[in-house]
Amino acid sequence: MRVLITGGPTREYLDDVRCLTNPSSGRMGMELARAARARKHAVTLVTGPTAFPDPAGVRVVRVTSAREMAAAVAKAYPRCDVLIASAAVSDYRPRLRKAGKVKKGPARATLELVANPDILAACGRKKGRRVLVGFALESRDGLKNARKKLLAKNLDLVVLNDPGSFAAERIGATFVFAEGAERLPKMTKEKLAGVIFELLDRPHGGECACGC
Ligand code: C5P
């Protein structure tokens, strides 16, 4: 299969030295890319800023902002069979990026934000025969919201992470399908990546991981 993976955080600059971002380490995207490669798939990883080196045998596209990630995904998407979106994309960016370093000003300041494109939702609208997997991190009503996301973005699977999974070594996750859900035991991101590919590599018509 030709597998396209997104990973890492995005950075949305408000001037030349400050940005909006989040603590995603990029490890999940890296582990997914390695697991896919180990299973002999052709892999493209589009990742936001991460300290991890390029995994061997993987085409890596390094980006900074959500819009750059959207452009890189749009380029690779037509030629992929599977998309796994594990990136923690900033939903908003500052409306303006100022040149240089903005000087300290009054005690209160406001920052105007505009919405970023939803990369995965855009792919869901042009799904074709592809398999689409999203990740979700919810602080409440996890199952309900993950299921909503599955339907709204036209996905086959949502990997719902427990809060606290950001930059963590071992994470608790739940597979959410249209037909049901399966809670997984806490495991490393390396193991979770392997479990996701076990599911994707299973021939169609095989037993569903949720037991339905
Ligand atoms: O809607 P929410 O951000 O919770 O959805 C999470 C899923 O959507 C993740 O798979 C994430 O990579 C993807 N996403 C995206 N582009 C965005 C926001 C989220 O691809 N702008």
Q: Which two tokens mark 80?
A: 């992929």
pLDDT for residue 168? 73
Phi and psi at residue 115, to the nearest 5° = -70, 140
Distance from Cα 105 to the centre of ligand 1, integer Å: 34
Pocket test for ligand 1, best of 89, 127, 144 (most atoms within 8 A of CB): 89
Residue spans of alpha helices (H) in the chain: 27-38, 66-76, 119-125, 142-152, 189-201
HEC assignment per residue over 29-80: HHHHHHHHHHCCCEEEEEECCCCCCCCCCCEEEECCCHHHHHHHHHHHHHHC
Q: Report the distance separating Cα 38 and Cα 35, nearest Å.
A: 5
CA distances from 194 to 22, 34, 61, 176, 201 (A): 25, 9, 22, 17, 10
pLDDT tens digits, 24-40: 999 999 999 999 999 99
pLDDT for residue 71? 98
Q: 131: which strand partners? A: 82
Q: Report the distance separating Cα 118 and Cα 97, nearest Å.
A: 20
Q: Report the distance separating Cα 52 and Cα 47, nearest Å.
A: 10
Name the average pLDDT for the chain: 94
Distance from Cα 103 to the centre of ligand 1, integer Å: 33
Q: Which two tokens mark 64?
A: 């900074």
Q: Are 33 and 55 in contact (CB under 8 A)?
A: yes
Q: Which fold has domain 2-97+112-201?
A: Rossmann fold (3.40.50)
pLDDT tens digits, 109-148: 999 999 999 999 999 999 999 999 999 999 899 999 999 9
- The residues spanned by each domain of the chain are 2-97+112-201
212 in helix, strand or coil? coil
Supply the residue whose CA is at minimum distance from atom 17 of ligand 1: 118
